[in-house]
Structure formats: C-alpha cells, structure tokens
Amino acid sequence: MVPYAAGGPVDLSARLIAPKLQSALGQPVVVENKPGAGGNIGADFVAKSEADGYTLVMGAIATHAINPALYKNLPYDPIRDFRHVALLVQVPNVLVVSNDLPARSVAELIALAKRQPGKLDFASGSTGSTGHLAGELFKQLTGTDMVHVPYKGSAPAVADLLAGRVALMFDNLASALPNIQAGKVRALAVTTLRRSTFLPDLPTLDESGLKGFDLTTWWGLMAPAKTPQAVVDRLAMEATKALADSDLQARWKAMGSEAPTVRTPAEFTAFVERERKLYADLVKRSGATAD
C-alpha cells in the first residue's frame, strides 16, 4: 500500500522493490495506491488491516513523523499501531537559492537575511512539508526572519525559484539536481549531517555553522502492529537483501537516495521515534497546523 498518488518518489520505489520481494518471497506483491489527507488515509488503512504480513505500507516521514504533530485528530499512532520493518530510502534536501540572489555561501545568505529581516522568501511544496520545516529550523538556528511561501506541490515552487520570484528553497535533492547542474539555481548546502555523494563538493549546513542540522526525507516498509515477529524479521531480511541488489541500487541512485543509515526493525522503530520528537518540536515552533 502506497499512501500517495502514483508516480511520486514513494510510489516509484515501491514499484521498483515489489518485483524483487516477489521473487524472494515466492508470493505476488501488488502495489496499490490509496492517496489522500497527506498519506493518512493509506497509513490508517494498513494500521487497521489484518496483521498477517500480507499488507504493508510505505510509511514515510510525513505519515509517521510530521503528520502526528500537524493533525490534531490522527486516527492512528505512528509508533504503537505499526511494526517498522525496513527503512528503504533517505533523500537529503538541498538549500538552493535563485541565481539573482547575491549570496554565494550559507554565511553570506545568513548575513543577507540579517540585513533585510522579513524580506527574503523561501518556497516549499506545502505547509508542513520537509522543505517548510527545514526553512523554519534554519530561521531558528540562525535567528533570521524569512517569509514562508507555500505552493501546491514543489513544481510551481521550483518555477518561481528559477524565475527569481522567491529567493530560496529547501528542495528535494533529486528534483533540484538537474537545475543545479545546469546552473539555473545555486546550491549552498545539503540538509543532512553527511555530504551527499551526488554533490561531494557541497558543504552540509552542519559544517556551515548550523550545528546539528540534520533533516532527511525518508520512507520504508511498515506492517500492522500485531504482525508476528518472525514475519517482520523475514520481510526485513528480504528487503535488506533487495536493497543490496546492484540493479536496485542504481535505480535508487537515480532518485538521489543515499544508503539507509538504519538496518534492523528495532533500529527503525527507534529512528521513527526520534524523528517524531524532532518534528513535533519543529511543527509546534513553526505554528503550522492542518486541522
């Protein structure tokens, strides 16, 4: 079950790994999309499905870390209602600025933002998205004031960034990469602790003086809470094996994903808990809500 519309990155990775799991498990693996309410409808459907290991959901940073803080009446609990099977994808966000902006480094951007408080705009794909929250965290850590301009999806936001109508954006690495390489926008930093293998010369925000800045967009396989341990372990093992497959790794690379830092189901649960706390805090301070 993919809680998002077909064709997005979460859907693509599900459709890529499904045939690998199918041959490993000797069972047909069908990808079904149930989009709506920021992924909550699909996630809730799986949370309340039969816990026999036959129904899995692509749980993502939105459904399992951000939405619990954003929506007041979430019908499921991201920790208690799920077994977290395997983290599949981690994609960094990258801080990109319009070519019209004079800032050439993070330090220059901070200085510029301090000189003109409330003048710079940062775009994002929606309120409560990683792009929005990364911007809020940036404002907090640097003590700057910038205006958040939300769009309906990141495509129109990128269009306005290319045209210079907004100053900057914390965009998903995969979608930002072609325009960075073509010199249409300038990348200043990645949002993860480690540098990206795709842009090894690009510093991290952590290196640029924003200590501890670490945001990654992630998603992975999750099962209903009552799924037996043996089933979870088997699925986790096959998923890890599939990830090691060179064909799949090449496809993953094309989406800008780094190798997951989390390996076992237990580590994954701990990871989700950590992320959930981080975003609960961030969402609260940003004042964002969806209710």
Using CB under 8 A, list all residues that contact other proteins: 5-9, 11-12, 15-16, 18-19, 32-38, 40-41, 44, 70, 73, 75, 121, 126-128, 147, 149-152, 155-156, 158-160, 162-163, 165-166, 174-175, 177-179, 181-182, 184, 250-251, 253-255, 288-291
The smaller minimum CB distance to other proteins, of residues 54 and 269, is found at 54
List, in order, residues 6 or more apart from 138 with CB less than 8 Å away: 95, 144, 146, 170, 205, 210, 213
Structure tokens belonging to residue 100:
């019209």
The smaller minimum CB distance to other proteins, of residues 143 and 178, is found at 178
Inter-residue contact 135 to 287 (CB < 8 Å): no
Q: Which residue has the tokens 């093992």?
A: 237
The smaller minimum CB distance to other proteins, of residues 178 and 228, is found at 178
The smaller minimum CB distance to other proteins, of residues 11 and 81, is found at 11
SS3 category, 30: coil
CB of 228 to other proteins, least distance (A): 27
SS3 category, 79: coil
The smaller minimum CB distance to other proteins, of residues 278 and 290, is found at 290
Q: How does 196-224 read in b/e, with b if 16+ C-beta sit within 10 Å?
A: bebbeebbbbbebebeebbbbbbbbbbbb
CB of 48 to other proteins, least distance (A): 13
Chain-centroid distance, C-alpha 204: 17
CB of 211 to other proteins, least distance (A): 29
CB of 212 to other proteins, least distance (A): 26
CB of 137 to other proteins, least distance (A): 17
CB of 215 to other proteins, least distance (A): 18
Structure tokens belonging to residue 232:
């979870």
The smaller minimum CB distance to other proteins, of residues 7 and 209, is found at 7
CA dihedral 197, 199, 200, 204 (to 10 degrees): -100
Indicate the burial class of 68 (C-beta count within 10 angstroms; 0-12, 13-18, 19 or more): buried
The smaller minimum CB distance to other proteins, of residues 5 and 259, is found at 5
CB of 17 to other proteins, least distance (A): 11
Structure tokens belonging to residue 278:
């981080």
